[in-house]
Chain A
Amino acid sequence: MDYNKILEGCLKGNLKAQRELYDCFASKMLGVCMRYSANREEAKDILHDGFIKVFTKLNTFSGSGTLEAWMRKIFVNTALEQLRKNDVLRDTVDYEGITENLDANVDIESDLNRDELMQIINSMPPGYRTVFNLFAIEGYAHQEIATMLHISEGTSKSQYARAKIWLQTKITSKYSEP
């Protein structure tokens, strides 16, 4: 798809072009939003705020990377802002130094499908979920996550470890279900 024309229209504030851009990326971005949210309503709020940011800051897109990557970054940041705003990251600060005892082996060979995994992630406490998303799916390092969430690197690691335990527990319980 030729995004240049769409981008040009968006830069002019053309609503039709904005709709086209939305149609191109809304599903993917809502997927991102869903991973950081406990439910769809929260995700929709992030989707809304994220697209408003995209349209208002489109002129800062340099074109050096892909548009999707640039947008994904905006949506992740928007999600984090939302979490901070709702004070849901408060419980991410007290777990530094206990990482070693929290290592867990996640059975990644399980036959859980994507939706089931998504359900488990959504059910995580916000702190676990956020760090898990950033580390395991977005690929950020713990140091970067620490900076993004204004926490220590150790806290990020412990949150991730706990998230894994949570994940393992949920997977195990899924398999143990009759």
Chain B
Amino acid sequence: MQSETKSRVDQLTSPAGHPVTVLRFEGDIASTSKEAVLGTYQALPKDSVRLVLLDFTKVDYINSSGIALVIQMLIEASNSDQRVYAFGLSAHFTKVFTMVGITKYAGLFPSQAEALAAL
């Protein structure tokens, strides 16, 4: 019933010259998304990845279990001295992420270009 979460990793460079690892998600982000969300993040090399950018452009549905997975990722990133940012959330999920306090630990941007320009 829930659409499977797909994830993909891209390596980009910000205009300021910093390497940025982009995790692109597609589908629903719910309790069944652990491998796609946390598994994909945990497979990144901890010693070389410093900036992580989450792409939610193709995500339609995020529930509280999905939010918990994002929080778990933020905890692990914080423990590894990585900084996490996100873009592509709908206005509604931007509001939800702000309500729960995620924006204190992950900057949100409307688009990839705006996120990269800030990094």
> Are A and B bound to each other?
no
